[in-house]
Structure 1
Amino acid sequence: MNVELSSSRFERPLRLVLEAVPPEVHLGRAGMEAVVEKVATVHSAVGLDAVNIPEIREERSKSEKGERRKPFAPRVEPRELAYELRERVGVDCMINRVVVHLERERQLDWFRETWERFGVREFVLVGGERSDVTYPGPSVPEANTLLREQLAVPGLRLGNICIPTRVGEAARLGRKLASGADFFTTQIVYHGDEFTALLDALRDAAPPPELLLTLCPVRSARNIRFLHWLGVSVSDDLEGWLTAGPESVGERSLAHIRQTWREIVDHHRSANHPCPLGVSLAPIGRVPNATTVELAEGLIADAGG
């Protein structure tokens, strides 16, 4: 599959990433082909800088308002999808890896193999779901240091997760930077002030980390209930406005995301913030490729690309 890139990739001032969830194992080859086609379509239109592939594990709801109707099902290994996308679409991938479930040496072997066999050199390290559980593997800061010291991968980049609404998040990010992190991907953001407050708190971080802001278009009230299940901050007022007309949820979602992004870009420029900004698009549900492309092009334009 040959992908003809849009020139916008080489002109825009931000890094653009698309999240692609590995297909369920039972879907077989058809599931993999559907994901590859989706990524290829968006990549050919806007020129993605990377694809962000999460490791999906069974977990519990993080909000009483949350709802996940579809039960957990085993999925294709993220690194297998990453290999397909690099070989067939020509786009680099980053893999979200939960690091707490394997002991240090076994975890290190997984990262080494993922580079040597699958060609992945960029990772987002994720911790355990529960703070009251003792896991066999390293914490995220420990894993940062372990990989920096013992993984010989040229151009290795390590990302960690950022939750803007979490108390003390800027200090937490500072400790992760000191342990070897390069960049952070945020939890899905729907309220710009939550992110700009964190941005201001990181003004003196040295070196300033790249921040990939995760944005998520939705199509229905059910999608929003799933966001609650993930622990995403969506105010009652915003949820009420988004769902005021069932037929307009998608359109309102896009309008709100564009407005939120413009507020963040304006704040970043006016305050001359040193932290580079990027976007990770994470469409939830059956969001059409055309909608994802439309949103990406709008965000690029709003950033001055």
Structure 2
Amino acid sequence: MFLEKIKSAASGVMLYGITPPKASTQPERVAEIAQKTVERLTNLDIDALVVYDVQDESARTTEERPFPFITALDPLVFASGYLEALTIPKIIYRPAGKFSVQELSDWLEKLHEHTFYPVFVGVPAPDFPVKTSLQEAYKIWSKHQDTSVIGAVTIPERHNALNDEDVRMLDKMNCGVSYFISQCVFNLDYAKQLIEDLYLRCNRQQISPPTIIFTITACGSVKTLHFMEWLGIHVPDELKEELKTSEDILEKSVRLCLEIAEALTTYCIERSIPFGFNIESVAIRKAEIEASIDLAHRISQMLTDKGVRKPSKESEVTFID
């Protein structure tokens, strides 16, 4: 179970991340989308489903957003009301600062009722008025610490810029956080530096490191690549050029993602850092969705082959050529 793997700091955790349908979607259409999601994921060897809270981050940058922002359904509503048939645990993102203490308390109670797990994230822009601090949010959650786990986000790009992500992570660990889901990784060097600095800091302080779950995302078009960069994901120039000049950018990105996942696996094993992967699927194109499923199968198999993940008897591993 996901809960047991995080509490025991087991490596090889596999997640799959999605966004809810847009808020204006008719209920019957939402049900159709949910049914297709359940069908795609039922036989996928994953430990939990991540359901993101989609925020408008336009205020974070002056650069024009490549895709228009569209308000999405509340992730808890989507997960609890439409994805019941998918019996794996759900991880629900929530920008804690947008809600009052009472609102967060009520939300956490609903989460607990469904045996879902929270990941608190920051507000969409630095000047956004904060109603509840992350520290307060963690304190509210702490009443559930014996039967739940709480996650947080880690950003290798921020560590490259400020060189303090390892300190931020340990501060959140002191508040009860036991695992971190990264921003999408395309710059392997940034991720490795974060792992190394976290490893050294934990050794110096003689504490056990948290689980790091690296987000891996296939890129199906140049416009999607531009959007990733708009979101703050750093794509090295050489890799960017490989994608842009490839005959099939989606196939090329899958291969690059597999290389990144294998390199991170080796790096974490060498440093005894518990780790896993979150395969993100936020595109609506069928080809990109199928590529994400293929990527999840392949990474799960790679972890099994390396002995860090037990093969699932229920999963049916099939690859898309």
Q: Flag whether TM exceeds 0.5 (same fold).
A: yes
Residue pair 1:164, 1:186 contacting (<8 A) in 2 also: yes
The aligned counterpart of 1:182 is 178
Aligned to 1:7: none
How many angstroms apart in 1 are the aligned matches of 2:181 and 2:91?
Answer: 11
Q: Is 2:137 aligned against 1:143?
A: yes
User: Superposition RMSD on alpha carbons, in Å?
Assistant: 2.2
CA drift of 1:250 comes to 0.3
State which drifts further: 178-187 or 279-288: 279-288
Aligned equivalents of 1:252, 1:62: Cα separation in 2? 30
Query: Do the aligned partners of 2:48 and 2:89 also contact (CA within 8 Å) in 1?
Result: yes
Q: Which residue of the partner structure matches residue 244 of structure 1? A: 245
In structure 2, relative to structure 1, the CA distance for the partners of 1:16 and 1:178 (3 Å cut) is same
**Structure 2 unaligned residues grouped into runs of 5+:** 1-9, 310-321
| 1:6 matched residue in structure 2 | none
Counterpart among 116, 123, 141 of residue 121 in structure 1 = 116
Q: What does residue 58 of structure 1 align with?
A: 56
User: Corresponding residue for 1:222?
Assistant: 223
Any idea what SS the aligned residue of 2:119 has? strand
Q: Where does residue 315 of structure 2 map in the other structure?
A: none
Corresponding residue of 1:199: 195
Structure 1 distance, partners of 2:97, 2:251, is 39
Structure 2 equivalent of residue 3 of structure 1: none
Q: Secondary structure at the match of 2:248?
A: helix
**CA offsets 1:57-114 (integer angstroms, 9 cap, x no match):** 2221756666422x22232221122224652121210000000012222221221133
Change in Cα spacing, 1:63 to 1:95, as seen in structure 2 (3 Å) is same
> Aligned residue for 2:267?
267
* Residue identity in the other structure for 1:280: N
| Alpha-carbon distance between aligned partners in 2 of 1:24 and 1:79, rounded to the nearest angstrom | 14
Match of 1:20 in 2: 18
Mapped to 1, the partners of 2:71 and 2:121 lie a distance apart of 19
User: What is the distance in 2 between the residues matched to 1:72 and 1:262?
Assistant: 33
CA–CA distance in 2 between the matches of 1:108 and 1:186? 25
- Give the distance between the partners of 2:63 and 2:253, measured in 1 at CA: 19
Please point out which of 87, 91, 94 is paired with 1:90: 87
Describe the shift of the 1:43–1:107 C-alpha distance in structure 2 as closer, same or farther (beyond 3 A).
Answer: same
Deviation at 1:254, TM superposition (A): 0.6
Q: Given residue 224 of structure 1, which amino acid in structure 2 is its aligned partner? A: L
3-state SS of paired residue (2:212): strand
Q: Distance in 2 between matches of 1:115 and 1:260?
A: 34
Structure 2 residue identity aligned to 1:135: V
SS of residue in 2 equivalent to 1:182: strand
CA contact (8 A) 1:219 1:287 kept: no
* CA drift at 1:41: 1.4
8 Å contact from structure 1 (residues 67, 225) kept in 2 = no
Tell me the residue number matched to 1:157: 149
- State the aligned residue count: 284
SS of residue matched to 1:97: strand
Greater alpha carbon shift after TM alignment, 227-236 vs 285-294:
285-294
Deviation at 1:24, TM superposition (A): 1.1
SS in 2 for 1:26: coil
- Would the aligned equivalents of 2:38 and 2:83 in 1 still touch at CA under 8 Å? no
Identity across aligned pairs (percent)?
20
| TM superposition outliers: structure 1 runs of 4+ over 3 Å | 61-67, 151-154, 287-290
Q: Provide closer, same or farther for how the CA distance between residues 256 and 165 of structure 1 changes in structure 2, counting only shifts above 3 A.
A: same
